């Protein structure tokens, strides 16, 4: 086991030159709308929010944010504002827990046009308190409660409506409270609690309809409480707790399990626990990034390299204490997450795997905006954030890097800005070595707007000006090519 600490880089709260996040709508002008379960669905982003009048109900955003349906009419809410309840898209439907005031909290579905409808009523005459909705291979997996069998794993088959309980880990009316469903090697893995093992790693096999404990990591009654399940390189990564090592990073290949880290040698948690529904680990550039704590400096950004087995602190975002990085998501070739540098409060940060992390925006200059519920959908990043003037609302970030594709051998950073533009735009090249580059600008039909012959650019920074003053609003494509005609990079510029 190897633990190594990188040289600490102290950050002065620098803010990156990315386009700044924009408030989509102040849904609740008198308070917080608490947008949650932010989920991509076709060309829209669906979420639940409270406008202060209709309760916590179904909303969607494409070019504007609108209340889609008041499932539980009046001020009562159609569901609850808890992150672990979740929504999942399968086929032409979006599935989620909801209560119309009569059914109790059950599994509903919405086709994007008509009113949401009850998909299945697990506990007729009561509420099954559906949570943990997860879609895989034509089935919706979810957690539900019945008086006879307690809280267990259920499934709903989307093409037939067939609903069945899959587990009875704690027999009778007891509950195993399964959570964190993820597909891995033709099975569904999850955490669940048995009276003899505590909370451990379980699996469900759809082929033979059987459930078994995958591994008893913390033998005895204590349980390891596995969480943060992530599949990468045909392996299942997650964190788990043992009294000897605290919470650390583990890997499971379908047969064998291995602890990978020992960040806090005192036996306390080296991997920071997350709340239900939050992302604990993210795979980026063949490494795993997460919040780690060595027991000395607090929670900071760590990485684990499966290639050499080394876990290390990447950067010290908060030199004076814990930076608490969390809510990781991948967008525009970078990692985005929330963190606290000790000066600005908890704000949105990004990391490109090369230079020090930078703060994207200081949305709330008083206490921090606490960004969460992050979703990459299409070419944009969506998330909820808090500010004193508007409360907790939904925001969107557009990074021009998400509009482009770059050849892996092209040693350069390419950025188009401003993007969108109302007139001219610029293509900024930061070259790692000398290069011959030609460029073309076309509209989406392929009509040539502007071009430049192959020119030798020296290592360093260069700017190519694109004149879009006289062209209509729309999408324009830039292509960078080498002297041999091979594509180096391409992307889109939006003219407004």
Would you list the domain boundaries of the chain?
Answer: 2-401, 405-495
CA distance 198 to 221: 5
Residue-level pLDDT at 13 = 36
Give the CA distances from residue 493 to residues 379, 410, 413, 420, in Å, rounded to whole numbers and listed in that order: 12, 20, 16, 6
Superfamily of domain 405-495: Macroglobulin (MG2) domain (2.60.40.1930)
Within 10 A of 439 (CB to CB), how many other CB atoms are there?
Answer: 21
- Does residue 300 contact residue 293 with C-beta atoms inside 8 Å? yes
CA distance 276 to 47: 17
Residue-level pLDDT at 415 = 82
Which residue from 218, 219, 258, 264 is spatially nearest to 238, judged by alpha carbons? 258
CATH topology of domain 2-401: Methylamine Dehydrogenase; Chain H (2.130.10)
For 472-481, what is each residue's pLDDT tens digit? 888 888 989 8
Dihedral angle of Cα 225, 251, 307, 339, to the nearest 10 degrees: -20
pLDDT tens series, the chain, 496 aa: 333 333 333 333 344 445 689 999 999 999 999 999 999 998 899 999 999 999 999 999 988 999 999 999 987 787 877 766 789 999 899 999 999 999 999 999 999 999 999 999 999 989 999 999 999 999 999 999 999 999 999 999 999 999 999 999 999 999 999 999 999 999 999 999 999 999 999 999 999 999 999 999 999 889 999 999 999 989 999 999 999 999 999 999 999 999 999 999 888 999 999 998 889 999 998 999 999 999 999 999 999 999 999 999 999 999 999 999 999 999 888 999 999 999 999 999 999 998 899 999 999 999 999 999 999 887 889 999 999 999 999 999 987 565 566 665 677 878 888 888 888 888 988 888 888 999 999 887 778 899 988 889 998 889 999 999 888 888 888 989 887 777 788 888 888 7
Within 10 A of 195 (CB to CB), how many other CB atoms are there?
Answer: 11
CA distance 242 to 68: 46
């Amino acid at each position: 086991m190897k633990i190594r600490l990188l040289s600490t880089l102290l950050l002065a709260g620098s803010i990156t030159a990315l386009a700044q996040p924009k408030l989509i709508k102040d849904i609740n002008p008198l308070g917080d709308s608490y947008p949650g379960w932010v989920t991509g669905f076709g060309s829209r982003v669906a979420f639940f929010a409270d406008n202060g009048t209709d309760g916590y109900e179904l909303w969607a955003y494409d070019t504007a944010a609108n209340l889609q349906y008041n499932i539980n009419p009046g001020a009562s809410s159609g569901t609850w504002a808890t992150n672990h309840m979740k929504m999942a898209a399968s086929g032409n439907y979006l599935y989620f827990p909801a209560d119309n005031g009569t059914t109790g909290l059950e599994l509903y579905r919405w086709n994007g046009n008509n009113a949401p409808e009850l998909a299945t009523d697990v506990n007729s005459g009561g509420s099954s308190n559906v949570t943990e909705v997860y879609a895989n291979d034509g089935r919706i997996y979810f957690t539900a409660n019945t008086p006879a069998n307690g809280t267990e794993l259920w499934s709903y088959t989307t093409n037939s409506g067939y609903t069945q309980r899959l587990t009875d880990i704690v027999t009778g009316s007891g509950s195993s409270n399964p959570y964190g469903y993820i597909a891995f090697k033709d099975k569904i893995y999850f955490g669940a609690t048995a009276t003899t093992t505590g909370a451990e790693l379980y699996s469900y096999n759809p082929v033979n309809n059987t459930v078994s404990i995958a591994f008893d990591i913390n033998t005895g009654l204590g349980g390891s409480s596995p969480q943060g399940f992530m599949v990468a390189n045909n392996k299942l990564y997650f964190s788990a707790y043992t009294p000897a090592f605290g919470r650390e990073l583990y890997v499971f290949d379908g047969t064998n399990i291995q602890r990978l880290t020992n960040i806090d040698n005192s036996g306390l948690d080296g991997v920071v626990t997350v709340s239900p529904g939050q992302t604990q680990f993210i795979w980026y550039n063949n490494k795993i990034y997460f919040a780690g704590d060595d027991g000395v400096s607090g929670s900071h950004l760590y990485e684990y390299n499966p290639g050499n087995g080394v876990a290390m602190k990447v950067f010290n975002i908060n030199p004076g204490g814990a930076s608490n990085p969390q809510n990781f998501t991948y967008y525009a070739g970078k990692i985005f997450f929330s963190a606290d540098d000790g000066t600005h409060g908890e704000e949105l940060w990004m990391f490109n795997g090369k230079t020090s992390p930078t703060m994207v925006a200081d949305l709330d200059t008083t206490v921090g905006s606490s960004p969460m519920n992050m979703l990459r959908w299409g070419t944009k990043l969506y998330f909820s954030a808090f500010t004193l003037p508007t409360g907790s609302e939904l925001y969107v970030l557009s990074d021009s890097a998400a509009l482009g594709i770059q050849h892996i051998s092209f040693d350069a950073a390419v950025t188009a800005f401003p993007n969108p533009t109302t007139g001219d735009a610029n293509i900024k090249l930061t070259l790692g070595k000398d290069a011959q580059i030609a460029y073309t600008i076309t509209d989406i039909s392929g009509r040539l707007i502007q071009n430049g012959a192959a020119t030798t650019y020296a290592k360093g920074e260069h700017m190519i000006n694109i004149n879009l003053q006289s062209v209509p609003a729309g999408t324009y494509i830039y292509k960078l090519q080498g002297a041999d005609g091979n594509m180096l990079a391409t992307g889109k510029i939006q003219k407004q």
